[in-house]
Structure 1
Amino acid sequence: MLPWTHAAFGYLLLLAVVLLLGRRFSRAELLAVLVGTQLADVIDKPLAWWFDVVPSGRSLGHSLLFVVPLCAVVVAITWYRRHPEVGVAFGVGYLTHLVGDTYAAIYAWRTEEFTFLLWPILPPYPYDDFVGFADFFDGFEVTTPGLVVFTAAAVVGVAFLVQFIRAPWLDTARS
């Protein structure tokens, strides 16, 4: 998945959970889910592609051995600060990132591609040979499915921004 589709997926899942619980959500929760959806790649891509510190763009930040303790610490900190919902939103965003990176392998049940989830116990799946952003844009092709996904992510992104910036129903003052 690309960054905007990770963000859209995490945001939509948080929105569904909040609506099912019949409550409102705060700007802090919106920000937390957005950060959560991006953090795995923010950690792994530079460490693998630019600094050669980890073996893959899906290793440390994508490993459940890192993610679960990180989410637990974030929830503990936000619980202590009396806003555990913000920590939960972060966890929702982070976990949707992992699901987004594995959904095709789950669908086809290609279990060998799940190894990055237990890095460094298991080796990361060798999926990327990325060198830089120029490589991405050089190989980028505009396709109908790609345009549909980009358009859907853009619509969700606009909805997110509207809610974040000026939506009157956001829970800005806790009662």
Structure 2
Amino acid sequence: MWPVGHLAVGYFCYVAVVAWTDRSLPANWRSLAVLAFATQLPDLIDKPLGYAGILPSGRSLAHSLVVVFVATAGVRLAVSIARARQDLHLSRSILAAYRLPLLVGYLSHLVADSYGALLAGGVWRIRYLAWPLLPAIEYGSDGVAPWNRLLAMTLTPQIQAELLLAAAAIVVFVALRLRKQ
């Protein structure tokens, strides 16, 4: 999936989680900025490092649920330590306030990258979710610089669908904003 598709899927997932948990959408733009960043984060980490040969693939470290589990445990530990030290600014304002958009954005990226293979019955094609427990998948595009892939993007049916999804996300965003006023 391309960045615009990840952004749209992440926004729709965030709206769904907020509605499901009976929360209200945040009024500040920082939460949405964190969400937008989180929807791109796995590719921002893995694609350049895979291209540079530091990681085995453009979907390995940051696309791994094993790594997500370890990182989530680390964040929980940091919040617990901050609370124990009574550093309320760190525990409430920074980590706790943006935990939901960060987690939803990040996990929506993994879901968006995986659903096609799952629907096609290709469970082995999503083994990057278990990296480093399972070997990384080598993609032909790993040898192409990520910025070159973005510049060479053509209007394929997949990208057209992702642009329509992004347009729908914009419509939902505007509708929810207007309803709030």
The TM-score by the shorter chain falls in which range? Answer: 0.7 to 0.9
Unpaired runs of at least 5, structure 2: 81-90
- CA-to-partner distance for each residue in 1:14-38, whole Å, 9 max, x for gaps? 1112123333132343223222211
Pick from 38, 48, 51: which aligns with 2:50?
48
Are 2:107 and 1:106 equivalent residues in the alignment? no
In structure 2, the residue matched to 1:153 is 166
The offset of 1:85, in angstroms, is 5.2
* 1:3 partner amino acid: P
Runs of 4+ aligned structure 1 residues displaced above 6 Å come to: none
In structure 2, the residue matched to 1:37 is 39
Q: Please give the secondary structure, in 1, of the residue aligned with 2:55.
A: coil
* 1:65–1:119 contact (8 Å) kept in structure 2: yes
Tell me how far apart the structure 1 counterparts of residues 50 and 6 of structure 2 sit (CA, whole Å). 20
Tell me the matched-pair count. Answer: 166
Q: TM-score, normalised by structure 2?
A: 0.76
1:106/1:85 Cα in 2 relative to 1: closer, same or farther (>3 Å)? farther
Unpaired runs of at least 5, structure 1: 171-175
1:42/1:157 Cα in 2 relative to 1: closer, same or farther (>3 Å)? farther
Q: TM-score, normalised by structure 1?
A: 0.78
Deviates more, 1:114-123 or 1:25-34: 25-34
In structure 1, the residue matched to 2:3 is 3
- CA-to-partner distance for each residue in 1:87-115, whole Å, 9 max, x for gaps? 12211111111111110111011121122
Q: Please give the secondary structure, in 1, of the residue aligned with 2:62.
A: helix
Q: Please give the secondary structure, in 2, of the residue aligned with 1:112.
A: helix
In structure 1, the residue matched to 2:132 is 120
* 2:148 partner amino acid: A
* 1:71–1:90 contact (8 Å) kept in structure 2: no
* 1:78–1:86 contact (8 Å) kept in structure 2: no
* 1:75–1:88 contact (8 Å) kept in structure 2: no
CA RMSD of aligned residues (A): 3.0
Tell me how far apart the structure 1 counterparts of residues 3 and 72 of structure 2 sit (CA, whole Å). 20
* 1:99 partner amino acid: V
In structure 1, the residue matched to 2:155 is 142
Q: Please give the secondary structure, in 2, of the residue aligned with 1:152.
A: helix
- CA-to-partner distance for each residue in 1:60-110, whole Å, 9 max, x for gaps? 111112112223434555682256352122111111111111101110111
Q: Percent identity?
A: 35
Are 2:66 and 1:65 equivalent residues in the alignment? yes
